[in-house]
């Protein structure tokens, strides 16, 4: 039997979308070896017109240097009526590219891990194809996901939290199509979690000195250097681990700095499991993937910033869950670290336990099973297919080899 085809719609706008797709792929490869082939399609880069095809380069600069304008654009399109107007413009602008997308990537199941791609792809199927593959949307923002993430025609919508599911229901999704699974974490990360002392031995860290991990995500976003420097200036008896991500200039600057205490600088890593297992506190922006990994590791968080709009709810999720605090400046983040490390150790231990309570380490396996089930469903008749079948009875059943006219 030929392997079934899974196509992921994603983009390298931030690290979370690719990370989600790669986590799901890895879980499916482990659970169903040889049963599937996988494609990760960067939709922005390959199927949208200029300047949208530059979004993987534009996005990190936009949210770093003009975050308020990003938040404004997010909120202006985040609603039924406003969103419908924006999506109508997107459909006209992207129409040709979306038609190529669905034609060039035949699938047995299509999975969208990016909020903006589900509706244009579904429209292309409905307009140009009588049948389509089963479609799964995976919501990757913990609470305040954009309305575009909730595609009504999707066969399954998998959300990371009950709050994200409630938003989908409020936007009109049928309850039986929406399920809370958690956010997918790569199996490699879960495998890499270890006892704190063992993790420190492997890394060459001091076994007893408190360790603070500072990260700006895959792209080194936010004032990572300023935060690390503010913590170092406190003169605490700690060790710092700083992840520069793919930001080469940041890494060079961190490596050239004179630190008062031990400081370990890391580039982009495929997994932060070892670092998170070894650390006592994480200082990071409110990216959903990092938050969920920290929860799985039982690592309390100082959230030093959030992308306006899409990450606002992530802050609420962590703070209300008791797993961390919001400190949106280098000085505030350093102050939170000092308060935690100088306070009662039982308080920090309680925050670590609260983080574990928020974790859903089985999420990636639940999502893999959902996609597996959808992949074994027959093709789904589209609106065009319904119109054609009303006039041409021979189209009552899906063709064996798919859904292309």
Give me the pLDDT at residue 232, please.
96
Burial of residue 226 (CB within 10 Å: 0-12, 13-18, 19+) is middle
Residue 320 lies inside a defined structural domain of this protein: yes
Mean of per-residue pLDDT scores for the chain = 92
Q: Model confidence at 403, in pLDDT bands (50, 70, 90)? A: very low
What's the CATH number where 111 sits? 3.40.50.2000
Q: Model confidence at 393, in pLDDT bands (50, 70, 90)? A: low
**Is the domain of 133 the same as that of 228?**
no
**Is the domain of 54 the same as that of 180?**
yes
Quick check: helix, strand or coil at residue 197?
helix
Q: What percent of the chain has pLDDT over 70?
A: 96
**Is the domain of 163 the same as that of 300?**
no
> With contact defined as beta carbons under 8 Å apart, do 133 and 108 qualify?
yes
The 135-138 sheet, strands edge to edge: 36-42, 4-10, 109-112, 135-138, 156-159, 178-180
Name 49's Cβ contacts closer than 8 Å, sequence gap at least 6: 93, 94, 97
Could you report the per-residue pLDDT of 40-96, keeping only the tens digit for each?
A: 999 999 999 999 999 998 988 888 888 889 899 988 888 878 888 899 999 999 999
Quick check: helix, strand or coil at residue 36?
strand
Residue 404 lies inside a defined structural domain of this protein: no
Give me the pLDDT at residue 255, please.
95
**Is the domain of 247 the same as that of 132?**
no
> With contact defined as beta carbons under 8 Å apart, do 102 and 121 qualify?
yes
What's the sign of the alpha-carbon dihedral 226, 231, 234, 240?
negative
Q: Model confidence at 276, in pLDDT bands (50, 70, 90)? A: very high
What is the C-alpha separation between 173 and 386, in angstroms, rounded?
21
pLDDT at residue 98 greater than cutoff 90: yes
pLDDT at residue 250 greater than cutoff 60: yes
**Could you give phi then psi for residue 321, rounded to 5 degrees?**
-80, -5
Name 131's Cβ contacts closer than 8 Å, sequence gap at least 6: 379, 380, 381, 382, 385, 398, 399, 402, 403, 404
Residue 123 lies inside a defined structural domain of this protein: yes
**Could you give phi then psi for residue 280, rounded to 5 degrees?**
-105, -30
What number is the average pLDDT over the span 300-311? 92
Q: Which domain holds residue 193?
A: 187-358
Quote the number of domains for the chain.
2
Pairing of strands 239-245, 263-267: parallel
What is the C-alpha separation between 137 and 112, in angstroms, rounded?
5
**Is the domain of 258 the same as that of 340?**
yes
Residue 238 lies inside a defined structural domain of this protein: yes
**Is the domain of 350 the same as that of 382?**
no
Q: Where are the alpha helices (DSSP H) in 182-302?
A: 187-192, 196-203, 224-233, 248-256, 273-278, 288-297
Could you report the per-residue pLDDT of 316-339, keeping only the tens digit for each?
A: 999 999 999 999 999 999 999 999
Place of tokens 């770093």: 64
Least confident of 59-63, 310-314, 343-347, 367-371: 59-63
What number is the average pLDDT over the span 377-403? 73
Give me the pLDDT at residue 402, please.
46
Q: Which is more confident, 73 or 14? A: 73
Residue 24: how many other CB atoms lie within 10 Å? 27
**Is the domain of 203 the same as that of 141?**
no
Residue 403 lies inside a defined structural domain of this protein: no
């Amino acid at each position: 039997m030929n392997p079934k085809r899974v196509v992921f719609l994603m983009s390298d706008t931030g690290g979370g979308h690719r990370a989600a797709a790669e986590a799901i792929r890895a879980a499916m490869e482990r659970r169903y070896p040889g049963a599937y082939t996988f494609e990760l399609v960067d939709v922005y880069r390959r199927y949208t017109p200029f300047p949208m095809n530059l979004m993987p380069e534009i996005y990190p600069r936009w949210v770093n240097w003009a975050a308020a304008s990003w938040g404004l654009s997010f909120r202006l399109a985040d609603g039924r009526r406003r969103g419908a107007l924006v999506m109508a413009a997107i459909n006209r602008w992207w129409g040709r590219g979306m038609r190529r997308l669905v034609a060039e990537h035949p699938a047995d199941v299509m999975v969208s891990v990016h909020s903006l791609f589900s509706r244009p792809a579904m429209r292309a199927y409905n307009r140009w194809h009588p049948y389509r593959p089963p479609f799964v949307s995976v919501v990757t923002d913990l609470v305040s996901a954009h309305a575009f993430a909730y595609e009504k025609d999707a066969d399954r919508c998998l959300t990371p939290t009950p709050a994200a599911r409630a938003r989908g229901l409020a936007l009109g999704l049928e309850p039986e199509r929406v399920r809370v699974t958690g956010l997918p974490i790569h199996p490699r990360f879960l495998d890499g979690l270890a006892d704190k002392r063992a993790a420190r031995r492997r890394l060459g860290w001091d076994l007893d000195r408190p360790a603070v991990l500072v990260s700006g995500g895959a792209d080194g976003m936010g004032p990572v250097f300023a935060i690390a420097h503010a913590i170092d200036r406190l003169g605490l008896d700690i060790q710092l681990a700083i992840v520069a991500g793919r930001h080469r200039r940041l890494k060079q600057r961190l490596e050239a700095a004179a630190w008062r205490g031990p400081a370990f600088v890391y580039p982009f890593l495929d997994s932060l499991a070892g670092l998170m297992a070894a650390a006592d506190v994480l200082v990071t922006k409110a990216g959903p993937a990092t938050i969920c990994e920290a929860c799985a590791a039982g690592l309390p968080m100082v959230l030093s910033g959030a992308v306006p709009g899409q990450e606002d709810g992530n802050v609420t999720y962590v703070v209300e869950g008791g797993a961390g605090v919001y400190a949106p400046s280098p000085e505030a983040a350093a102050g939170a670290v000092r308060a935690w490390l100088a306070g009662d150790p039982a308080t920090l231990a309680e925050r670590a336990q609260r983080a574990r309570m928020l974790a859903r380490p089985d999420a990636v396996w639940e999502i893999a099973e959902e996609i597996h089930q959808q992949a074994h469903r027959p093709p789904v008749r589209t609106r065009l297919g319904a119109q054609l079948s009303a006039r041409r009875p021979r189209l009552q059943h899906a063709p064996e080899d798919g859904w292309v006219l």
